[in-house]
Amino acid sequence: MTLQILWFVLWGLLWAIYFMLDGFDFGVGMLRGFLCRDETERRLALAAIGPVWNGNEVWLITAGGATFAAFPSAYASMFSFLYLPMLIILFSLIARGAAVEYREKHDGERWMRVWDLVLAVSSLTAALVLALGFGNIFQGLPIAGGIYRGNFFYLFNPYGLLTAVVFVLLFLQHGALWLSLRTAGPLAERATILAGRLWLPVLAFSALFLVATAAWTRLYENYVAHRVLFVVPVLAALSLLAVKVLHARRWPQGAFLASCATIVLVVATAMVGLFPNLIPSSLDPASSLSIYNSSSSQYTLGIMAIVALVFVPIVVVYQILVYRFFRKRVGAEDLAEEAGY
């Protein structure tokens, strides 16, 4: 396995982990205003993500850093071609963090309502634009001769919008499952009911996404050439089915883990189809940015592989410990101990 392939696998894995972990933060942020009936429940929802949301964003930084270090040409092109969407995502993530941290700094009702709205809008915007950008990368950007021939509004094409809807629905279901797992009382019950109701729309739009992918992208070419790769989307479908089965059996831990697997495998399905491209061109395949024409030198890739081998496991162990420490459900009696939430 060449270092370029190794880093492509790591690059895809880091993005999949980010989608899996920050996905439920986005989901909780979007759902909080609809599910929570009073101030206690609104604080409970924040307490459910409070200890982990900023740690989850570490994977975004790691994925971005891996792109910069391993594939600098693709990194530069991505920020050039998709500058405005990237900026929107950045400002949305900043606004979300401010909403979580500053909401409780003042007791005024208007103050809290404003930050509640900021949290909901920023969570939806970040999730929507992030998925929209990746949907367009899956489809291919209008690149010719190293120049982006589209504009910001080009991104709002049918396939890009469909990808955005699919991931937003996945994040909503993921967030509902997280609330059903981490909170107690009526809020957990409503989250459990909503997670069950969201499963059918997730299934329907995921099936439509698979059909649209065949019609509007070249992602299936790798699968046709190497049929054994179809195991990846099959596992994604089975994990989504497992969400339904485990949720019906009232096993929130199992349903949430199945949802984690679903998101990781959906991203993996797209990444397998994307290989060896990072940013394919919809106009001229020769203008596509691949792992071969946009990678760093072999020396740099080798050094970064050693760095990743040392530090990524440390991050993984740290996050496992954090999730283990904060694994119990939070109820109204715990809010006095949750300073800032």
Q: Is the dihedral of CA 244, 245, 251, 255 positive or negative?
A: negative
Report whether pLDDT(338) > 60.
no
Report helix, strand or coil for 148.
strand
146 lies in some domain: no
Q: Give pLDDT tens digits for 143-155.
A: 988 888 888 889 9
Kindly indicate the confidence band of residue 33, based on its pLDDT and cuts at 50, 70 and 90.
confident
Q: Give pLDDT tens digits for 290-317.
A: 999 999 999 999 999 998 889 889 988 9
The identity of residue 9, as a single letter, is V
127 lies in some domain: yes
Which candidate, 316, 332, 212, 206, places its Cα nearest to that of 259? 206
Q: What is the DSSP letter of 331?
A: -
Counting the structural domains of the chain, the total is 1
277 lies in some domain: yes
Enumerate residues 6+ apart whose C-beta is below 8 A from 331.
44, 183, 184, 185
In this prediction, residue 290 carries a pLDDT of 93
By residue range, what is the domain housing residue 267? 3-140+151-337
Tell me the average pLDDT of the chain: 91
In this prediction, residue 322 carries a pLDDT of 87
Q: Peptide bond preceding 201: is omega within 30 degrees of 0, i.e. cis?
A: no
In this prediction, residue 334 carries a pLDDT of 67
145 lies in some domain: no
Rounded percentage of the chain residues whose pLDDT exceeds 70 = 97
One-character DSSP codes across 243-290: HHHHHHTT-HHHHHHHHHHHHHHHHHHHHHHHTTEEE-BSS-GGG-EE
Exposed / middle / buried, residue 247 (Cβ in 10 Å: 0-12, 13-18, 19+):
buried
In this prediction, residue 337 carries a pLDDT of 56
Q: Alpha helices, DSSP H only, in the chain?
A: 3-35, 39-49, 53-56, 58-70, 72-81, 83-102, 109-139, 158-182, 186-216, 221-225, 231-248, 252-274, 298-325
Residue with tokens 């195991």: 231
In this prediction, residue 10 carries a pLDDT of 93
The separation between CA 148 and the C-alpha centre of its own chain, rounded to angstroms, equals 25
CB-CB neighbours of 231 under 10 Å: 12
Instruction: Indicate which CATH number applies to the domain containing 37.
Output: 1.20.1630.10
Q: Give pLDDT tens digits for 117-145.
A: 999 999 999 999 999 999 999 999 999 88
The span from the CA of 288 to the CA of 56, in Å, is 31
Cα R_g (the chain), whole angstroms: 20
Enumerate residues 6+ apart whose C-beta is below 8 A from 340.
50, 101, 104
The separation between CA 175 and the C-alpha centre of its own chain, rounded to angstroms, equals 12
Q: Give pLDDT tens digits for 218-264.
A: 999 999 999 999 999 999 999 999 999 999 999 999 999 999 999 99
Enumerate residues 6+ apart whose C-beta is below 8 A from 143.
77, 81, 149, 279, 281, 282, 283, 284, 287, 288, 289
215 lies in some domain: yes
Report helix, strand or coil for 15.
helix
Enumerate residues 6+ apart whose C-beta is below 8 A from 282.
139, 140, 141, 142, 143
267 lies in some domain: yes
Least confident of 53-67, 97-111, 149-163, 189-203: 97-111
Kindly indicate the confidence band of residue 329, based on its pLDDT and cuts at 50, 70 and 90.
confident
